[in-house]
Amino acid sequence: MSEPPAYFDAASAAPLHPVARQAMLAALEDGWADPGKLYTQARRARQLLDAARAATAEVLRVRPDELSFTPSGTTAAHAAVLGGLTGRRRVGATLVHSAIEHSAVLHAAERHLAGGGSSTSVPVSRSGRLDLDAWSGAVAGPGVALAALISASHEVGTVQPLAEAAGACAAAGVPLYVDAAQSVGRIPVPEGWSVLSASAHKWGGPPGVGLLVVRKGTRWESPYPADEREAGRTPGVPNLPAIVAAAAALRMVAAEASAEAERLSPLVDRIRATVSATVPDVEVVGDPVDRLPHLVTFSCLYVDGEALLHALDRRGFAVSSGSSCTSSTLRPSHVLEAMGVLSHGNVRISLHRDSTEAEVDRLLAELPGIVADLRAEAGVVGL
């Protein structure tokens, strides 16, 4: 009998946490009414929403009224960027961001540019870490309305120097927005930010729930037409069963996070070391130490990325290419490009609470042969 498939793409969507499934089923029974109404069923829905907000805010160490639920991490990122810029338009129209932001942030930046604003992209090192001197210079420039920094790279896992970057923003009087989609529920996010976003399906919540946190005193204005729900920060009725499930999962994963990191991080070390040793012409990218505990990316020279993903899929391994684009648009990743590393044959492996050592060992045993076969098919010999 063949091995069961191994799912290695938690950074796109982690499998639903069992607690999330239970909470969602209960909330579908009990929390389907519109929490904005005044009758009994609506009051029950409101209680569930309030409890989910309080639990989520507690994990994030923020006030419940600073937190709004959005329809995704992407919409939260859009609102964070555009709302942060709108709120400070009297100060200036410049957005400072790292070169390795998620496409959600970069697309919001493009919208800002199309509307006449400006932006400064701050470079990163070869390991994917922000250039702090360049960042400090950029945020201290004239007319900076907002600075945006991803907490840890979704493509290569490098954790960013957030505390130092926040210090530079504070010195310049510029609010900092942090896209913490890959960190929340896995590693602590340092203080010092004004706006934060996250995404529930990265931590084992259901898809379609994002978090937008705006700290008290931050000048942020909704970029949307008026709507009073979710403190006026995101329009439309909230997806209550999914939000309840997301909050339940977050409590669980936050409590388990350091034990999970201790289990997964050595597996990532093993992948990094073994891939480097057993696959010729490979580059393992991202910071080997200052990194997310569950994510590793490597690139294989002379291999087509899409062919490699399909070959791995046929052998029962679900991986992503370290690209922020969807798999249908396998353009060279802007993150790998900004780091100046190889982007051929790129594979991102991201582990989760169900990932096992045996799955990782099976991948490591099969990968050299899969890469060699693809190179042979493409006529690359003699490596």
Ligand X SMILES: Cc1ncc(COP(=O)(O)O)c(C=O)c1O
Site for ligand X, rule CB under 6 A: 12, 72-74, 77, 102, 104, 150, 154, 179, 181-182, 199, 201, 210
Partner residues linked to 210 by β-bridges: 70, 199
Q: Which of 259, 325, 376, 378 is catalytic?
A: 325
Dist CA 250 CA 192 (whole Å): 22
The Cα-based distances of 77 to 80, 104, 148, 180, 356 in angstroms read 5, 6, 10, 10, 32
Least CB distance to ligand X at residue 124 (A): 14
**Tokens standing for residue 168:** 């530079």
How far is it, in rounded angstroms, from Cα 150 to Cα 185? 15
Q: With respect to ligand X, which residue has the nearer C-beta, 246 or 282?
A: 246
Instruction: Please choose, from the candidates 102, 77, 71, 101, the residue with its C-alpha nearest in 3D space to the C-alpha of residue 207.
Output: 71
**Residue closer to ligand X, measured from CB, 98 or 343:** 98
Residue nearest to ligand X (CB): 73
Shortest CB 338 distance to ligand X, Å: 15
Other CB atoms within 10 A of residue 145 CB: 23
Shortest Cβ 170–ligand X spacing (Å):
23
Q: What is the nearest approach in angstroms of ligand X to the Cβ of residue 76? A: 8
In DSSP terms, 195 is beta-bridged to 177, 214
User: Distances from the Cα of 375 to the Cαs of 23, 284, 301, in angstroms?
Assistant: 47, 18, 9
User: With respect to ligand X, which residue has the nearer C-beta, 139 or 295?
Assistant: 295
- Closest to ligand X by CB, 37 vs 331, is 331
Identify whether the C-beta of residue 182 lies closer than 8 Å to the C-beta of residue 13. Answer: no
For residue 379, the minimal CB distance to ligand X (Å) is 35
Rounded least distance, CB 150 to ligand X, Å:
6
Query: CB within 8 A of 327, min separation 6: which ones?
Result: 306, 309, 320, 321
Write the CB contacts of 273 (distance below 8 Å, at least 6 apart in sequence): none
- Between 49 and 76, name the residue whose CB sits nearer to ligand X: 76
Strand, helix or coil at 231? helix
Please, are residues 17 and 249 in contact by the beta-carbon 8 Å criterion?
yes
For 363, the 3-state DSSP assignment is helix
325 is a catalytic site residue: yes
- Cβ proximity to ligand X: between 10 and 303 the closer is 10
Active site residues: 325
